[in-house]
A and B are shown apart, each in its own frame.
Chain A
């Protein structure tokens, strides 16, 4: 689990996060960055380590120019790095050990979050904290606020209908735990999100509630500005690729919804089949009691049907616990991605509107005013982030669904293998000749 340190990690020693200058505090204005172009937010984040040395895995120094064009290529380099296996990984997070807490006001479950990292942002190489669902929900909201240009992974559903689902049943808790683990792992794998301050605090703070109350809005500049983009701007034309993404997500979510319904229907039919099987098997037993020579064969058939029933029950439980939740997770994911796309549209619309306003003013200005440039930057950063995240998402999705569907096939194969074994084992019993009647 211990990853080797990335090659270019400077030996600046561990720094407490609070000691480091906030990347966007005062000095990180445009001017401090050396002038006429706005660095990408990711670049800024990267700069927050230690002595302004930029940590670039390939040992390079940050590009002098920080125009949006190069920032996206920078992003690409960072992204590429994440595709390499665990050797260069420097952050590992696990969710396990659910425990029930009974208090006067409420009862709830906490999960242990174990973090192992060699990153500078972490004071200690290892952390272990306990968090409850509320905390995850808080984290996700914070991420959405602070990283609005990125796709934030979904959480398992918040609300469960009491009485229908037992919130404290082993199966429910385990399903949730897996989903929460997935959530954190997805963030861990993200080159930008994994460096998010809120994420760090979530993983490390002893008292998360105190931190929550601080209400420090650690927003990136882009984040802040995006947050304040008001609606009402009409989008002239959506770039083809984003339109395509939107269409894709629509159909994708639709198809997943259909698959979810089909899977549920299959489970329902299987349960009804199971009910009948549970009545069917014992009748052979009843018959066996009437017979002499046929008693053993009939009893054997009864036991066999019983085994098949058990195997079927295991199948339906497995599919319910492992297949359905992942489908639903991806539906939620698509929904949140759609809203990010909308935000992107808004940013583009604002930019276009401002640009148009400038053009209409017919002033003979040699250069574009600063605020229009800011808008353009914002838009282009957003587009770059989103594109990169979409590609990552597509590749993860492919991997996840391959795993999911192979898993579904496996479960069904196992079910049939169990039944096959049961029936094959009674053939000799049925064929055997009995000496005495």
Chain B
């Protein structure tokens, strides 16, 4: 491993070439920067670069979940679930995959990774994690985090998250992400050492900017409204869907009672007995079929939930824009007022109310040297300010450009994914109808033989 200068940010340079990194999940790399080694851009982001890295496909899977007990930060016993992440590289030549890395992570580490990505890639719509706690449950589903079905769905959700990150043209190159997949021990410390928590924008600052920004890009304002409405409508949808599932469960299960009573009735009948008995059996089959049907539907609900959480990620990008824009506006305003101050000093007119103006009136004008000194300071500040404004402007425009590119990418992805989800939902409904027809046709045959 190359040891770079004692810059803590650069401590973890990757081993060159052979190691992993890049687009995952059997997707080819989109684009690649073609410089070697690690580079750190102006924001301190750690990316992995390397020509041949992009051409290798990798497969990521979260293959297992395991209950563990350990001691937490306050030295108390706790139970948590750990997930096994396996990474395989698929050699192009023979198509076989080789297990290259395998390690265990818990949910909180995924959260840490995501928070890091949010800070260092504010222009990216960062893929969301599966929900922390089970929400929108219908009564049969457990809201318990330790419930095996919940754990299983979370495992799938976490795998999906990693695949999303790995297939993102920008995020996939991140060093920390790479280490997440490859370096079990010490990863937490590594992430924390990047100091990303300090670089995060304060919530208060962001809120302030949202209210006070004067000229945000209209597209971001619209996007913000869209993501608010999307969040609201998907929440509503998930809530009602849960109730629908509940009711449907009831309908199917009550039919099971027919099974029992037909059986009892058949005992007193001579010719009708057989028909009743076998029809009753079909009613039992009908009643028990609902469990699998609703389990499949949970998958659909999970797909909707992902986009519910994606709405939040969209909003985060909008917030960042507002923050930057507000910052820019504030800086511009600052500069303008300094320029004015300078002008006033130079010409001796006091147009604006200022403490200096008051004290001047009270205590008399200052001396020419004093004034000149102050003008000089101001001019220096103005210069610096103009430089800053220029770079802020540039930054802002870069941000808008990059963010909007990612948003377009996201839109395409969303439309594709949701269409797929709707199709699979329709397919589920079709399957349910066909099962229903089958069962009732069987029962009808039994009845007709009565």
Contact = CB atoms under 8 A, between A and B. Distances in A.
Interface in A183-232: none
B447 A290 contact: no
A416 interface: yes
A334 B7 CA distance: 95
Most buried by A among B230, B271, B436, B440: B440
A248 B268 contact: yes
A190 to B, nearest CB: 22
A186 B162 CA distance: 73
B422 A430 contact: yes
B222 to A, nearest CB: 11
B426 A430 contact: yes
A242 interface: no
B212 interface: no
A83 interface: no
A416 B272 contact: no
Interface string A263-299: 0011001101101110110011011001001100110
9 contacts: A252-B265, A259-B261, A262-B254, A273-B247, A287-B233, A287-B237, A401-B272, A415-B436, A416-B433
Nearest to A288: B233
Contacts of A304: 426
B233 A427 contact: no
B234 interface: yes
B429 interface: yes
Contacts, number: 135
B376 interface: no
Contact of B450 (A272, A401, A423): A401
Given A276-B247, A280-B240, A409-B447, A419 B268 contact: no
Contact of B279 (A248, A273, A405, A427): A405
B255 A266 contact: yes
Interface in B256-273: 257-258, 261, 264-265, 268, 271-272
B433 A301 contact: no
A273 B433 contact: no
Given A266-B255, A420-B434, A252 B268 contact: yes
A402 interface: yes
Nearest to B253: A269
A258 B448 CA distance: 22
Given A280-B244, A283-B233, A294-B415, A262 B261 contact: yes
A285 to B, nearest CB: 10
Nearest to B235: A283
Contacts of B229: 290
Contacts of B51: none
B195 interface: no
A301 B426 contact: yes
Contacts of A413: 436-437, 440-441, 444
A160 to B, nearest CB: 26
Contacts of A430: 419, 422-423, 426
B250 interface: yes
Interface of B: 226, 229-230, 233-234, 236-237, 240-241, 243-244, 246-248, 250-251, 254-255, 257-258, 261, 264-265, 268, 271-272, 275, 279, 415, 418-419, 422-423, 425-427, 429-430, 433-434, 436-437, 440-441, 443-444, 447-448, 450
A97 interface: no
A284 B237 contact: yes
Given A262-B258, A301-B422, 7 more contacts: A269-B254, A286-B233, A406-B447, A410-B444, A412-B440, A416-B433, A426-B426
Interface in A293-334: 293-294, 297-298, 301, 304
Contacts of B448: 402, 406
Interface in A369-405: 398, 401-402, 405
- What is the interface residue range for chain A against chain B? 35 or more
A424 interface: yes
Contacts of A284: 237
Contact of B447 (A272, A277, A405, A423): A405
Contacts of B264: 255
Contacts of A298: 422
Contacts of B258: 259, 262
Nearest to A399: B450
B247 A269 contact: yes
A284 B426 CA distance: 14
A431 interface: yes
Contacts of A427: 423, 426-427, 430
B335 to A, nearest CB: 40
A273 B251 contact: yes
A398 B275 CA distance: 11
Contacts of B447: 402, 405-406, 408-409
B233 A424 contact: no
B398 to A, nearest CB: 26
Contacts of A272: 247, 250
Nearest to B246: A276
A283 B240 CA distance: 9
Contact of B433 (A258, A408, A423): A423
Contacts of B234: 287
B251 A276 contact: no
Nearest to A398: B272
B436 A412 contact: yes
Contacts of B261: 255, 258-259, 262
A284 B271 CA distance: 51
B268 A265 contact: no
A343 B58 CA distance: 88
Given A290-B233, A405-B450, A431 B265 contact: no
B444 A406 contact: yes
Contacts of A290: 226, 229-230, 233
A420 B265 CA distance: 33
Contacts of B271: 398
A301 B433 CA distance: 16
A273 B248 contact: yes
B430 A297 contact: no
A417 interface: yes
Contacts of B440: 409, 412-413, 416
A408 B229 CA distance: 44
Contacts of A283: 233, 236-237, 240
Contacts of B279: 405
Most buried by B among A265, A298, A409: A409
Contacts of A266: 251, 254-255
A297 B421 CA distance: 11
A270 B426 contact: no
A293 B243 CA distance: 28
Contacts of B437: 413, 416-417, 420
A230 B437 CA distance: 57
Contact of A424 (B272, B430, B436): B430
A419 B419 contact: no
A50 B110 CA distance: 101
B246 to A, nearest CB: 8
Contact of A273 (B244, B427, B434): B244
Contacts of A252: 265, 268
B16 to A, nearest CB: 43
A136 to B, nearest CB: 29
B292 to A, nearest CB: 17
B346 to A, nearest CB: 55
